[in-house]
Amino acid sequence: MEEKIRVSKLLSELGLCSRREADSYIEQGLVTVDGEIVNELGSRAFRHQKIELQSGAKVQQASRITVILNKPVGFISHFDDEQEYQPAASLITPDNYFASPLDKGRNPRFNTRGLAPAGRLDIDSTGMLVLTQDGRIAKLLIGENSPIEKEYLVRVEGALSFADLDRLKHGLELDGVTLKPAQVSWQNEDQLRFVLREGRKRQIRRMCEMVGLKVLGLKRVRMGRLSLGALPVGKWRFVRPEEQF
């Protein structure tokens, strides 16, 4: 017999919003199930029922901001790490804004409440860090089955055999779990290019250690269809509405 599931979970599975956002929309009466408004937290529905967000919820979503930061070494990605280091979010200030004519006058002085990193980047790594107020984007980038590629340039020291290069591509385990297939190739004589669809803690560094390589530098340059481009270290820019990961 089919069981009812929390409406907030169904909204998240449909990619319409995060579960936390769903609870907020339900409380505001901005969610319908088969055309009927539901406004009680914990409301349930069957998977076959039509679940929709109302226009008020979509207006709220459109106002949520997503930015790309070129994170420098020495900053942590999340607030809940070692407290002696500054979080990358502290760099999202008007002074660090990298202006573009494509932003059409957007104001870098915005309310950063709820702006959180969508994925980690180690304290000793640099490059592309996405911070967002939009649960849909966070889930797309870091959800359990995220389809989004993350590309890294990794400067290494040591010898790498063809067999170990193949192991980097597929065959390694971390914490007892087989890693998903990766694209790994030489970018130049001392730099590898990695393209991953997952992001375990210090994954690339640990992968390299397992094949006898020492990582000297690591930079994330792309997430999905968006690249770091010419964004200077320590600067940030808006992700524009027409841009899609």
* Structural fold of domain 5-62: 3.10.290
Mean pLDDT of the chain: 90
Fold agreement (5-62, 150-223): no
Q: What's the CA gap between 227 and 237, in Å, rounded? A: 12
The residues that are catalytic are 122
Q: What is the pLDDT of residues 188-240, one digit of tens each?
A: 999 999 999 988 889 999 999 999 999 999 999 999 999 999 999 999 999 99
Question: Would you place residue 110 in the very low, low, confident or very high pLDDT band (cuts 50, 70, 90)?
Answer: confident
Least confident of 17-21, 51-55, 109-113, 151-155: 17-21
Q: Which amino acid is at 98?
A: F
CATH 3.30.70.1560 fits 150-223, yes or no: yes
Question: Would you place residue 83 in the very low, low, confident or very high pLDDT band (cuts 50, 70, 90)?
Answer: low
pLDDT at 82 over 70: no
Q: What's the CA gap between 4 and 202, in Å, rounded? A: 39
CATH 3.30.70.580 fits 64-145+226-238, yes or no: yes
CA angle, 80 then 86 then 88, to 5°: 85
Q: What's the CA gap between 196 and 148, in Å, rounded? A: 8
User: pTM, whole model, 2 decimals?
Assistant: 0.81
Q: What pLDDT was estimated at residue 32?
A: 92
Question: Would you place residue 103 in the very low, low, confident or very high pLDDT band (cuts 50, 70, 90)?
Answer: confident
CB atoms within 10 A of CB 219: 20
| Domain segments of the chain as ranges | 5-62, 64-145+226-238, 150-223
Q: What is the pLDDT of residues 188-198, one digit of tens each?
A: 999 999 999 98
Q: What pLDDT was estimated at residue 80?
A: 59
